[in-house]
Amino acid sequence: MTGLALALQLQAAVWGIQPAAPTVGDTVVLERLVPTAAGALGRTRPLEASEQIEPLGLPSITPAEGGILVRHAVALFAPGTHTIPMPAIEVLHPDGTVEVIVGDTAVVAVATVVPDSVRDPQPMPSQAPVARAVRDVRRALLPVVPVLVGLAAWLAWRRRAPRTVRSTAQAVPPVALPLMRWLAAGERRAVGTVAAHRLRQAVAAAVPASAGVTDADAWASAVAAARPDWPVTELADTLRALERARFAPLAGDDLAELVDRTDVLLARLGAGAGAS
């Protein structure tokens, strides 16, 4: 055995390897016991990464029986024997002296995970083309035909001429609301709202331009333009008073008088308002 090989073997024996027979991709722990006195501390650098070796974290140095234990965890990604340069180790002894252990090498034999039977694989010959199954187009269209027929029937039914439905319901006469009973029950806001609505509705039947006009002045102008013979000023004052009663209810007697005045105005206009 040559001197160089003997030196490598002695250096490799310093570093323990776990597991003893690693394969490609395994986590390999390289550990070395450095003899020191109790209480000594150590420090070392991480391993350098390469295309085939990847360090897995920082090295660890822990106290052990007879010295300190230095560990490096690596992963190797190629089969064969790897010679890993190990960094130097600095040891701080309890008496304050520092000892530097020169870096050596660790030899790791990594086995391949590919079996020998497929080490030199040969390509397989191409297979014959797979015959395509013959498909009947009529079978694919068969489920669609009922859907199309149903859709055509539905469109024809939607486009048919509308039928004229004669209403057999008889005209319902307007209901005369018991405003005075409401007023006696204390529903003054409701009485003012109904009376104002009845006045607007009666005027709109003769003056369509006044329908939908909320402002009392604009409403009075529309009524005066269409019916100058009507007492427009009295109508506008009555409407304003009824609308104020919706938000600031009058006394019972004042509101009753205002409703009577509304009925009198509607009678004068010929609106055919019912008695309250």
d(CA 13, CA 228): 125
Residue at a domain's end among 90, 112, 134: 112
Structural domain contains residue 141: no
Per-residue pLDDT of the chain in tens (276 residues, 90 and over written 9): 344 443 434 444 489 999 989 999 899 999 999 999 888 999 999 999 988 999 998 999 999 998 999 999 999 999 999 999 999 999 999 888 999 999 889 999 999 887 665 566 677 788 888 877 767 777 777 788 888 888 888 888 888 766 655 544 444 445 456 667 766 666 767 777 787 888 888 888 888 888 878 788 888 888 888 888 888 888 888 888 877 776 666 665 666 777 777 778 788 877 433 333
Structural domain contains residue 129: no
For 191, the domain range is 179-269
| Number of structural domains the chain divides into | 2
Structural domain contains residue 228: yes
Contact 191, 182 (CB under 8 A): yes
Structural tokens at position 90: 């600095």
d(CA 235, CA 213): 14
Structural domain contains residue 93: yes
Q: Fill in the DSSP letter of residue 211.
A: T
Residue at a domain's end among 86, 112, 138: 112
Residue at a domain's end among 95, 112, 129: 112
Q: In this predicted structure, what is the pLDDT of residue 107? A: 93
Q: What's the full length of the chain, in residues?
A: 276
Structural domain contains residue 258: yes
Instruction: State whether 107 and 26 are in the same domain.
Output: yes
* pTM of the predicted structure, to 2 decimals: 0.40
Instruction: State whether 10 and 107 are in the same domain.
Output: yes
